[in-house]
A = this chain, B = another copy of it.
Amino acid sequence: MQLSNLCWPAVQSLSKDIPVVIPIAAVEQHGHHLPLITDSMLLGEIVQRAERELSDSVLVTPLQWYGNSHHHLDYPGTLSCPPRTYLDLVAATVDNMVAHGFKRILVLNGHGGNDVPGKQALFELRQQYRSRQDLLLLFATYWSLAPNVAEEVAGLFQQEMAHACEWETSMMLCIAPDLVGDYLAAEPVEPGNAFRPASRAWITQDRSTTGHIGWPHLATQSKGEQLLQQFSAGVIGMVHRIRNWDGSAWEG
C-alpha cells in the first residue's frame, strides 16, 4: 500500500502496527553506461514488487531520491544532500511517521553511501524517543537482505554489490534497457580497499576515472531478473518478520 495514494482519513484508520517501509536512494553518477537515476529506479522496482505481493500488509512512503552522494560530486549531474542535512532529512521522515503513531519502521536503502548516515539518523532518533519501548526502528540496504544472492543467481561473478557494476547493470537491463549505454566497453575496476578491515574515507575519483566500480561488462538481463527477484524476496521476508514481531523481545 502506498501512503501517498491515501487520503488522510484513510491513514488515520490504519492499524499503527502495520510495517512501514521508507525507501531512500540516490541520484548520482553511475559511470558512462548507466543513468543518474539508477539507484532510485532499482530500489523503486524492488519496493514495487514487494508491495504488490504484500498488498495491504505494508505501508510504503514515497521514495526519497536525494541521497548522501558527496563522494560522487566531481561527476556532473550528481545530486547530493550535504551530510548533516542528510541526517536531518532521514530522521525527519521517520519522525513524521512516528508522529502519526506508526511503530514499526524499516528504512530501506538503495545506495551504499546512505548506509552510515542512515544508521546514524536512526540512532539519534532512538535516543530521542528513549522512553518508548514499542518502537521498532530498522535500517537495511536492500542487497543485505539477500545475503546469499551470489550463490543463488546463476553465473554471477561479483560476490558483492559494487557501483554501476555487474549487478546494477544487469538489473537495469531488465527494467530500463533503453537507459543503458555501452556497458560492454566498461573496463573492470577492482572494488578492493587496500587497508581492509579498516574503512577508508574516499571520494570516487580516488578509485575510478569512469565512475563505475566492478565488472559491468558481465551484466545480463537474466542475471538482472534473478537479482530483482532475490532482492524483492528479501524485502518481503523482512516485512513479514516485522509484522510478526511480538513487540516485547530484542531476540526473536
Residues of A participating in the B interface, judged by any CB pair closer than 8 Å: 3-12, 27, 29-37, 40, 61-62, 64-66, 70-71, 73-85, 87-89, 92-93, 96-97, 99-101, 106, 116-117, 119-120, 122-127, 130, 133, 136-140, 144-145, 147, 179, 181, 190, 192-195, 197-203, 206-207, 211, 238, 241-242, 245, 249-252
Q: Can you list 29 A-B pairs with a CB-CB distance of less than 8 A?
A: A4-B35, A5-B35, A7-B32, A7-B33, A8-B30, A11-B76, A12-B76, A12-B77, A66-B93, A71-B123, A73-B99, A77-B100, A79-B97, A80-B96, A87-B120, A117-B120, A120-B120, A123-B201, A130-B203, A136-B195, A139-B199, A140-B197, A140-B198, A147-B197, A192-B250, A194-B245, A194-B249, A194-B250, A195-B241
Which B residues touch A36, using CB under 8 A? 3-8, 11
Contact B8 A139 (CB under 8 A): no
Complex CA–CA separation, A32 to B8 (angstroms): 7
Residue of B nearest to A244 (CB): B194
Contact A37 B5 (CB under 8 A): yes
Which B residues touch A9, using CB under 8 A? 32, 76
Contact A197 B144 (CB under 8 A): yes
Q: A8-B31, A136-B200, A139-B199 are in contact. List 17 more A-B contacts (CB 8 A).
A: A4-B37, A5-B36, A6-B77, A7-B33, A8-B29, A8-B76, A9-B76, A71-B123, A79-B93, A81-B92, A84-B124, A116-B120, A119-B199, A130-B203, A137-B200, A138-B198, A192-B250
Contact B83 A96 (CB under 8 A): no
Contact B96 A202 (CB under 8 A): no
Least CB distance from A176 to B in Å reads: 9
Known contacts A62-B27, A238-B195; decide if A251 and B190 are in contact (CB<8 Å): yes
> Which of A6, A84, A127, A145 is most buried by chain B, counting CB atoms within 10 A of its CB?
A127
Known contacts A138-B198, A140-B199, A252-B195; decide if A27 and B8 are in contact (CB<8 Å): no
